[in-house]
A and B are shown apart, each in its own frame.
Chain A
């Protein structure tokens, strides 16, 4: 037994295996929750029907800000959750806002007409607002509290459970 070879081999290989093993169970999807706990970036956009909407105009209300597009399948899975939450928490003062991400307004309007959602859906020319929020894919949802602070960011579809617990905390 050549002990030098053995020890060099062990030093090279064991940490590598340990590292790869610890990679399991981690979600390699890039997260961008850098904004959590910070003031929500302001924006002033127009809805698909052309009316102006700014974050400042709903100050004092908790806001659920959802980035989505019609070409994203998970967004369609998420849609009923948003519909349900808007129905039950809208009257309680929660403002639901959607921002269209890299999509054609006409397609989005057609989709919304079919689903019957009635929260403001904003066009985002040049994707500026999405960049200001560090959106790295859709859907992404930001929960903004009454003081305009981002309390939580969810990448991927929001589940019913997360929606409810987060909104209860914010109210």
Chain B
């Protein structure tokens, strides 16, 4: 249905909005582009729906090249953009009618289709009312209905539930699901809610800085995080509890078991399946569970894993855009702290004296030591923490995350050398790409170095 290869789009400002993006969407599939604001999701949709041009690559939508035959593409697709493009001073019916005329449909066909769509979306009663009287959810539905007026085989939804309350959101999900199931509509949607991607899509593409970082089923993505955390608190602390803990260790699906503040944290692949089993086991052992909670991986966790940054960090960077511009950057790249840190590392590596290096390693070990003491409690209260610890400046936050991941996935705790290697690996990648390292004294003004960062 969609075949995109090597798609690159550079804005007039020099920002690379889409960077060598390759994507294939099969007929009848719901695919979600998941990423933070500014990741290139909307731009991708605009290119696919012929609204935007692009610089490199080839894009085929519904069997037609968007550059060669945009008209044919337009006839085959429907687009629901982020802004509700319905006219507020027209009635629902008039909106649908106008859109039908734009697709050059016969009047009778449009009228028939309007009845169909209105009853499908439950808008029949509101059809002859002005859109100004509609609620946000109704407007969205009307918006989707106008996009479907010409029976497209492919539907683009750009942040379809943005700004809707939970009830409208869930109702919209049902409609989207039904459209796909009953009418075989292929749907490409963008979102920054993991929940939405999870609920709706067959496959999720995590997109950041104009690139698809990973594409897989939502379940596979979440499973790759290894870490639903089940927290159990028992009424008593007898030997039975020890037995229970031991049984947990024996369980093949359990990744890790941690005791913390009289709470038992069990990390499993699939928490939903594990909880009933744990409860049964506890009952068999005659234990009373005082409380039990289950925490799933969040978007932050998945995102962290595949992009090396958290959503928080990306947001922070957006807020600092003025700074980037001032420093001659076009956006992109990691956070400010990360860049400076990496530059410092580069300087040390190239020019630092032995004492410097030794001091650096000592510092590294000290931080690592701090992490070892703080990471355990930090790791246990479940997946929200990576985001919080990320708020801490510079590298130690990253270490905590690695540590947490290590804890959660049950692999042995790495040595300081591991972190050092990791840091060097990251920097090395950049060097290997031929991007060079920042020059000495190149703290702030180094435009070239910054550009290199951006090209990463």
Do the two chains belong together in a single complex?
no
